[in-house]
Amino acid sequence: MYAFNYQRAKSVRQAAGLLAKNGEAKLLAGGQTLLPTMKQRLASPPVLVDLARIEGLAGIERKGRAIVIGAMTKHADVATSTLVREAIPALAALAEGIGDPAVRNRGTIGGSVANNDPSADYPAACLALGATIVTNKRKIPADEFFQGLFTTALDEGEIIVKIAFPAPSKAAYVKFPNPASRYAMVGVFVAKRGSEIRVAVTGASSDGVFRWTAAEEALRSRFNPKSLDGVAASADGMISDIHGSAEYRAHLVGVMAKRAVSAALGK
Amino acid sequence: MTATGIGAPVRRREDFRFITGQGRYTDDIERPGQTYAYFLRSPHAHAAIRSIDAAAARATPGVLAVLTGDDLAADGVGGLICGWMIHSKDGTPMKAGAHPALAQGKVRYVGDHVAVVVAETLAIAKDAAEKIVVDYQVLAPVVDMNAAVKKGAPVIHDVAPDNVVYDWHLGDKAAADAAFAKAKHVTKIDLVNNRLVPNPMETRAAIGEYDGGSESFTLYTTSQNPHVARLVLSAFIGIAPEHKLRVIAPDVGGGFGSKIFIYAEETVCVWAAKKVGRPVKWTSDRTEAFLSDAHGRDHITHAELALDDKGRMLGLRVKTKANLGAYLSTFSSCVPTYLYAPLLSGQYDIPAIYCEVEGVYTNTAPVDAYRGAGRPEATFVVERIVEVAAREIGQDPAAFRKKNFIRKFPHQTPVIMAYDTGDYAASLDKALELIDYKNIGRRKRESARKGKMRGIGFSAYIEACGIAPSAAVGSLGAGVGLWESAEVRVNPVGTVEVLTGSHSHGQGHETTFAQLVCDRLGIPIDQVSIVHGDTDKVQFGMGTYGSRSGAVGMSAIAKALDKVIAKGKKVAAYALEASEADIEFKDGRFGVAGTDKSLAFGEVALQAYIAHKFSGQDLEPGLKEGAFYDPTNFTFPSGVHVCEVEIDPDTGVTRVDRWVAVDDFGVIINPMIVEGQVHGGIAQGVGQALLEGAHYDASGQLVTASYMDYCMPRADDLPSFKVDHTTTPCPSNPLGIKGCGEAGAIAAPPAVINAITDALGHEDVTMPATPQVVWRAARKAAFRTAAE
């Protein structure tokens, strides 16, 4: 790790100000990606702005039919929240499957979503549930937020404050973990709200999380795993590495999607 | 059997300190004035070093020294050695390229040691290392073994222009060819034994220290054999004479072979300590461990098995290429030769065997012994080809094995080994019963109903442990003897310290060795301590590897204990005023036969030290005996492992559903510890079969250099094991011990792969059989079935 300056922000406004002062400064949320990267000397931000002590950034509440989760809420708190478990059990289950206990007790939903790692779990939930990412400047629909590998709609100095998830009528997330890292090699989040069906896929595409519209269409006629028979994801643009070829990942997208639909139906 | 004697499941005495954070590992040791070493490593797989400019690094505040290969050469420090000479078929000695601890003119793998920075803190050392400018002339690398031996391939060492270290063979070629000429059926297979990274929980570490007053060095290091480390560092590398070098291997957190070897880092730390005049510490981080710990396995093999018309084995021919990496590590040369080919007879009566092995240099990390060392590779060949042969001729794989088992002992195989004892059919029968073999058909149908594919796989393994008679290994090229030493020091109050040349790095010697003492001397276990891992305390020893500590190390202790008892009888005779011939030792008391006169062991110890009852002319005072034990043969643990897997053809995920291990380890000292060894071994073997694989890309970068990509076995990858035993005591050592430390890792890989290929209708899979590999094979099998 290289030397850096550490700043503890007291408010989102102050954090934004510190970011504005130093273009290379980085926000520190749970630090589960940033700190290991810095330890390996692969990142060397001159300034870290810690969000941990900002009041009101963590917490979960119900607002109408939506669950609103503060950006600094830890994965473990989402996983064990009664509110989340009742309204969107699939989201609680997803949080329970992130990393290991140490990661879940430090890592935050805002950090994960802002980082937009192509193998992260939360982006799939945001996209499939049609979440709204609320920042210090505006509200961004998930469909516009994720813009490819580690790329988001966030502007310079823009900070995620909370994320609002409309509760679905049925939803499930099923992932195929990378055997080594246990990050999602393919993760499929399926959600049904009224007649709207959304299928979001993480881990598979070299462009990051995406909606699998062909599967959504097929499920619209009948929300049943059988509807996906013969619907194949294209291997074009899928990640190919020692753990899985693009073809294998594309195949797994289909398998995981079916399993997610089954799980959403309680099968 | 007493509560703490031989055969008792005594809880490991060392565990309390380990699990309460009171273990004292090398990195826990802080020496006054300690400095920190950081190694600048090669980013290239193959490059010439034109120049190294370290001026800016040296000028960094807090830096004490930046040292390179030139400094080593200037000080006359020798290179690292390979201690086992192998001769090629044509009689020429193996081609060992120079192996300097810091590169001299050339780097040969990613992670190779270019320079060391010694600084006040590790962070300063790392910062300074970034300022070192190395002018590399990048050379074409060669990573693949087949490519390395092709004409025109890049030359890694000038002494081996074809990248071949040796072209070795064992067995009678003419006899094997004759067997194939009369064969009714010949089974042929091609196998890859995947490269593994050892991954002990504790990474390697070293602290070098120099005392100017006594002109002597101390090295604290993560070693499985501190005495051999001292011998090599003094006699071959030439850092200091043996009596001026103390090597301490304190608590060591796992080794699996990778800590047998003498590496560049500890060599440099000892040498640099004198140069900077302060202790120098280095602790490997996990990435360095992946890059620079000696890797394991990495064979490509073609094998052929000849059968007669009844399915009896007539002959075996094996041709193997073994990747030795960029340099010959300490014992690398013997692993794919004398620790491999002599095991190719397995448990089978095979009249003729011929094996050829080419050792090959590549631009990859050195490869050396890793849990099982050669025997897992041999067992994989034998148990895969036996399985395939049984399927090809339509015989039940269990019955086919049984028919070909060796049944008369001793049995001389055509490849050196003389098996002393065993009952292979007994292990197989027990295993078949425990796995419920008769209902496997039903279980397969049940899996099929769920859309899954179930398979069963056998592995009837043998290994050679307790290495080994010194004269025998010497005749095969070993540079050292492989006996073991022990010293039993009885204190005046009767407590006992046992000094052993074996080294515990997870095996539980502090418990099992003490059990032997309790058993023999009849004293409570808390009156016994086991001392190991310090060359100033233990005079000499050969260390722990090859499942040798029980069979060889404990035999030495037993021998020394016999001497203690014999001396005790003499003391007791004086103290009890009886004839020595009438003294009996039983249950911890020396008594006069036919009387009720007796003294407890501790009372005799006191008499030995106060020496009031005898004259020094008649008997030396004191009670301390030493012994060296040189084995008369290898030991031959064997057994049968059976596993059942269930495959999800949609994803290719293999779930290991059942595991039965029936092992014959001879006499067992502590069944709980032995069971733990079996569990750990199976876990590593399943790791090799399903999960682990070191992968270099074509440019020689290690792609699997962290746990993000290198997959270690986890608890949920494994079922609950059924572990059982058969017992034929080993006749060649006084305790009847055969050894158990590597069995699981040896037995497991072919059991898993045989089970997978059984499930897939005999479609072959390579290791590691990851979900993707199995999914592809399942699809191929499905296409084939559809076509048929």
Q: How many residues does chain B have?
A: 788
Tell whether B109 lies on the interface with A, counting CB pairs under 8 A: no
Tokens of B333: 């040369």
Contact assignment for B711 to A41 by CB distance below 8 Å: no
Residues B87-94 have a mean pLDDT of 98
Single-letter amino acid code for the residue at A142 = A
Contact assignment for B651 to A244 by CB distance below 8 Å: no
Q: CA of B365: how far to CAs of B134, B153, B275, B765, in Å?
A: 21, 18, 28, 26
Contact assignment for A180 to B708 by CB distance below 8 Å: yes
pLDDT of residue B159: 98
Which residue does chain A place closest to B711, by CA atoms? A180
Supply the mean pLDDT for chain B.
Answer: 97
Chain A and chain B share a number of CB contacts under 8 A equal to 40
| DSSP three-state, residue B542 | coil
Most B CBs within 10 Å, among A183, A248, A267, to test the B interface: A248
Q: Which helix (H) or strand (E) holds B321?
A: strand B313-325
The answer to whether B226 and B543 are in contact (CB under 8 A) is: yes
Tokens of A219: 């499920």
> Backbone phi, then psi, for A254, in 5-degree steps?
-65, -45
Tokens of B254: 């796992």
Task: Put residue B553 in one of left, alpha, beta given phi > 0 → left and psi -120 to 50 → alpha.
Answer: alpha
Q: Which helix (H) or strand (E) holds B322?
A: strand B313-325
Q: How far is B709 from chain A (nearest CA, A)?
A: 5
Torsion sign across C-alpha atoms B308, B314, B319, B323: positive
Tens digit of each residue's pLDDT (9 = 90 or more) over B774-786: 999 999 998 888 8
For residues B562 and B419, what is the distance between their CA atoms, to the nearest angstrom? 28
Q: Integer distance in angstroms from the first to the last C-alpha of chain A?
A: 48
Report CA dihedral (B584, B589, B594, B596) to the nearest 10 degrees: 160
Q: How far is A176 from chain B (nearest CA, A)?
A: 9
Q: What is the CA radius of gyration of chain A?
A: 18
Q: How many residues does chain A have?
A: 267
Tell whether A42 lies on the interface with B, counting CB pairs under 8 A: no
* A 97-156 near B (Cβ less than 8 A): none
Residues B96-104 have a mean pLDDT of 98
Tell whether B770 lies on the interface with A, counting CB pairs under 8 A: yes
Q: Integer distance in angstroms from the first to the last C-alpha of chain B?
A: 61
CA atoms within 13 A on the CB side of B346: 31
Q: Which helix (H) or strand (E) holds B555?
A: helix B555-575
Pairing of strands B624-629, B598-600: unpaired
For residues B240 and B215, what is the distance between their CA atoms, to the nearest angstrom? 9
Tokens of B42: 């090669």
Q: Is residue B467 over pLDDT 90?
A: no
For residues B499 and B490, what is the distance between their CA atoms, to the nearest angstrom? 11
Tell whether B285 lies on the interface with A, counting CB pairs under 8 A: no
| Residues in chain B closer than 8 A to A255 (CB atoms) | 650-651
For residues B155 and B166, what is the distance between their CA atoms, to the nearest angstrom? 15
Tell whether B701 lies on the interface with A, counting CB pairs under 8 A: no
Residues B368-372 have a mean pLDDT of 97
For residues B742 and B344, what is the distance between their CA atoms, to the nearest angstrom? 17
Nearest beta carbon to residue A180 from set B127, B652, B709: B709
For residues B121 and B403, what is the distance between their CA atoms, to the nearest angstrom? 65
Q: How far is B652 from chain A (nearest CA, A)?
A: 10
Q: How far is B644 from chain A (nearest CA, A)?
A: 20
pLDDT of residue B559: 98
For residues A233 and A251, what is the distance between their CA atoms, to the nearest angstrom? 7
Q: CA of B73: how far to CAs of B47, B65, B79, B351, in Å?
A: 20, 16, 9, 52
Q: Is residue B2 over pLDDT 80?
A: no
Q: How far is A182 from chain B (nearest CA, A)?
A: 8
For residues B69 and B670, what is the distance between their CA atoms, to the nearest angstrom? 48
Q: How far is B157 from chain A (nearest CA, A)?
A: 30
Other CB atoms within a 10 A radius of the CB of residue B485 amount to: 24
Tell whether A238 lies on the interface with B, counting CB pairs under 8 A: no
pLDDT of residue B1: 58
Q: CA of B53: how far to CAs of B43, B130, B136, in Å?
A: 16, 11, 12
Residues B324-343 have a mean pLDDT of 98
| Residues in chain B closer than 8 A to A244 (CB atoms) | 771-772
Tens digit of each residue's pLDDT (9 = 90 or more) over B503-557: 999 999 999 999 999 999 999 999 999 999 999 999 999 999 999 999 999 999 9
The answer to whether A221 and A157 are in contact (CB under 8 A) is: no
Q: Is residue B261 over pLDDT 90?
A: yes
| Residues in chain A closer than 8 A to B711 (CB atoms) | 179-180
Single-letter amino acid code for the residue at B56 = A
Residues 6+ apart with CB under 8 A from B90: B167
Tens digit of each residue's pLDDT (9 = 90 or more) over B24-42: 999 999 999 999 999 999 9
Residue-range domains of chain B with CATH: 31-139+204-283 (3.90.1170.50), 296-467+633-787 (3.30.365.10), 483-629 (3.30.365.10)
Which residue does chain A place closest to B690, by CA atoms? A179
Tokens of B3: 């509560």
Which one, of A48, A61, A263, A266, lies nearest residue A161 by Cα?
Answer: A61
pLDDT band of B47, cuts 50, 70, 90 = very high
Tell whether A255 lies on the interface with B, counting CB pairs under 8 A: yes
Contact assignment for A242 to B710 by CB distance below 8 Å: no
Strand-by-strand arrangement of the A26-28 sheet = A5-8, A47-50, A26-28
Tens digit of each residue's pLDDT (9 = 90 or more) over B481-499: 999 999 999 999 999 999 9
Nearest beta carbon to residue B772 from set A2, A180, A245: A245
What percent of chain B shows pLDDT beyond 70?
A: 100
Single-letter amino acid code for the residue at A131 = A
Tokens of B408: 């008369």
Which residue does chain A place closest to B693, by CA atoms? A242
For residues B583 and B227, what is the distance between their CA atoms, to the nearest angstrom? 39
Residue-range domains of chain A with CATH: 5-50 (3.30.43.10), 60-166 (3.30.465.10), 170-264 (3.30.390.50)
- The pTM of this model reads 0.97
Which one, of A5, A15, A101, lies nearest residue A51 by Cα?
Answer: A15
Could you give the angle at the alpha carbon of B699 between the alpha carbons of B694 and B703, nearest 5°? 30
Pairing of strands A184-193, B638-648: unpaired
Tokens of B30: 């802080």
Residue whose structure tokens are 């779990």: A121
Strand-by-strand arrangement of the A184-193 sheet = A170-177, A184-193, A196-202, A210-211
Contact assignment for B709 to A242 by CB distance below 8 Å: yes
For residues B20 and B694, what is the distance between their CA atoms, to the nearest angstrom? 33
Which one, of A174, A152, A159, A182, lies nearest residue A108 by Cα?
Answer: A159
Tens digit of each residue's pLDDT (9 = 90 or more) over B274-321: 999 999 999 999 999 999 999 999 999 999 999 999 999 999 999 999
Which one, of B542, B600, B535, lies nearest residue B571 by Cα?
Answer: B600
CA atoms within 13 A on the CB side of B48: 7
| DSSP three-state, residue B267 | helix
For residues B72 and B84, what is the distance between their CA atoms, to the nearest angstrom? 24
Q: CA of A201: how far to CAs of A87, A171, B191, in Å?
A: 22, 14, 37
Nearest beta carbon to residue B775 from set A1, A40, A248: A248
What's the burial of B551, exposed, middle or buried (CB within 10 Å: 0-12/13-18/19+)? buried
Nearest beta carbon to residue B772 from set A181, A183, A248: A248
For residues B456 and A115, what is the distance between their CA atoms, to the nearest angstrom? 45
Tell whether A181 lies on the interface with B, counting CB pairs under 8 A: yes
Contact assignment for A243 to B772 by CB distance below 8 Å: yes
Contact assignment for B772 to A251 by CB distance below 8 Å: no
The answer to whether B191 and B381 are in contact (CB under 8 A) is: yes
Residues B411-430 have a mean pLDDT of 97
For residues A152 and A144, what is the distance between their CA atoms, to the nearest angstrom? 8
For residues B222 and B206, what is the distance between their CA atoms, to the nearest angstrom? 7
For residues B380 and A112, what is the distance between their CA atoms, to the nearest angstrom? 44
Q: How far is B710 from chain A (nearest CA, A)?
A: 6
For residues B421 and B408, what is the distance between their CA atoms, to the nearest angstrom? 8
Could you give the angle at the alpha carbon of B159 between the alpha carbons of B155 and B165, nearest 5°? 80
Residue whose structure tokens are 């990393």: A99
Per DSSP, B201 falls in state S
